[in-house]
Each structure stands twice: as C-alpha cells, then as structure tokens.
Structure 1
Amino acid sequence: MSYKASLGDLKPQVKRFNAAIGETAKGFGAIAASLRGDGALSHKQKEFVALGIAVAIRCEPCILFHTEALIRMGATREEVAEVLAVAVEMGGGPGVMYGSKALAAYDELSA
C-alpha cells in the first residue's frame, strides 16, 4: 500500500463528494477554516490533536490528511511519534495498530 497513492486518490474523491453535498460541504469547510489560525492553541497544535483523534477513531483517510498538513507545518517525526503515543494511551491496542500506520504514512509522505 502506498500512502502517497492513497492520498492522491482521496483528494479528487473528496472534491467530487463535496461538490455533490454543496451547502453541507461549505458548512464543514467553514468549521475547518475557523480552526486554521492560531488561537489559544497554534494551528500546528490543533493538527496534532486532529491526528491523535484520527488514530483513536481509526480514520485512515483522516490520518493521511492531518499527517500531510503536519509535514507542511514542519512537524518532526519525534513530535508525531509523541502524539501517537498519547493516541495509544487513549486508544489501547487499536491505537498501536493505527499509530503504526500513521508513522509509516509520515515516513513515506515526508521522504
């Protein structure tokens, strides 16, 4: 499995889906946009939270999108690994399995 290929396949699928759901996509987009800037937490910190949640709920596409965002923001492998350790604490065994996927995605997407 290639995480780059999966991400490449997902982006146009999500774009087509968003076009199909119109106003709902715009509403969700507004929520996401409202969280992009820095507030009490930096945008990067919010992406770390999102990645941890993505692992805990086992959302592989979410893992890919938030990992890609963190790479763009300059997150280190060590920072990502620490977030994944917290996800393991909160998610138990499934956190280990999806945490390993998230770290492999980081390694491939940052190469």
Structure 2
Amino acid sequence: MYKDWPQYAKDLSTAMQGCRDGIPETWGAFSKLAASSTKSGALDTKTKELIAIAIGIAMRCDGCVAFHARAAVRHGATREEVLEMIGMTVYMGGGPSSVYGAMALEAFDQFSEAAAAAK
C-alpha cells in the first residue's frame, strides 16, 4: 500500500481546521463554491467527482485525490468508471498522470472497502 488514504483524508481535514478557523469568511465562501459546483445539474454529482479526481491527478494534489475519491464512492462511482477516467488522465497527462492515477485508484479502493465494511 502506498498510502492509507482514509487516514490521510482524516489527518488533512484536521490540519485544514486551522485555515477554517483563521479565515472563516474565505473558507465559508470556498465551501459554498464547492457545494454549488458539485450539486447535480446537467452533470450528476458522481460525474463531477470523477472530473475532480481527474483534475487532482493532473495537478498532482494528494488531498484532492483523497477527498474526491471518497466523494466518488459516496456518490456511487464504480471501479470501472474510475479506471476509465484514469485512462483519460494518462492519455492527456502522460507519465505523471499514470503515477497519480495509480494513487487515485488505491484511494478509491480503500474508500470503497471502508464503505462496504460500514454497511
């Protein structure tokens, strides 16, 4: 295992609390942007979360991969959908995307296992 993604997301959320507390107006605005951007519209929330993982891969953002892999699981994404999305990121981003794609798949799998165990 490369990383314990559920623990990483938990630890990062805790670390981010200092920003939430220190700049509540800015953080609140960001949270509203996130909520309005991810709600279902012409694209459903699951598709938007897959897009967010792809951007996290392209930008090499571990936290983005963790949070959006968790959200993709919550919104019913399948492993096959995640793999096809990773294929697109590798096509568009080459070698760096292949590395982050593997990490994103590991994150998705760990969040899926945790969700299945919680049922």
TM-score by length of 2: 0.87
Moved over 4 A (4+): none
Higher relative contact order (CA 8 A, sep 6+): 2
Identity across matched positions, percent: 41
Over the aligned positions, Cα root-mean-square deviation in angstroms equals 1.1
Deviation at 1:61, TM superposition (A): 0.6
Deviation at 1:79, TM superposition (A): 0.5
| Structure 1 residue 21 corresponds to structure 2 residue 26 | no
Deviation at 1:86, TM superposition (A): 0.8
Rounded Cα–Cα distance in structure 1 between residues aligned with 2:25 and 2:100:
32
Amino acid aligned to 1:45: T
Instruction: Please name the residue that 2:58 is paired with.
Output: 56
**Number of residues of Structure 1 aligned to a counterpart in Structure 2:** 111
State which drifts further: 84-93 or 59-68. Answer: 84-93
Instruction: Please name the residue that 2:95 is paired with.
Output: 93
Instruction: Please name the residue that 1:4 is paired with.
Output: 6
Gaps of 5+ in 1: none
After superposition, what is the alpha-carbon deviation per residue over 1:24-62, rounded to whole angstroms, capped at 9, x for unaligned?
A: 111111111112321111111111111100001100110
State which drifts further: 29-38 or 90-99. Answer: 29-38
State which drifts further: 10-19 or 61-70. Answer: 10-19
Give 3-state SS (helix, strand or coil) of 2:38's partner: coil
TM-score by length of 1: 0.93
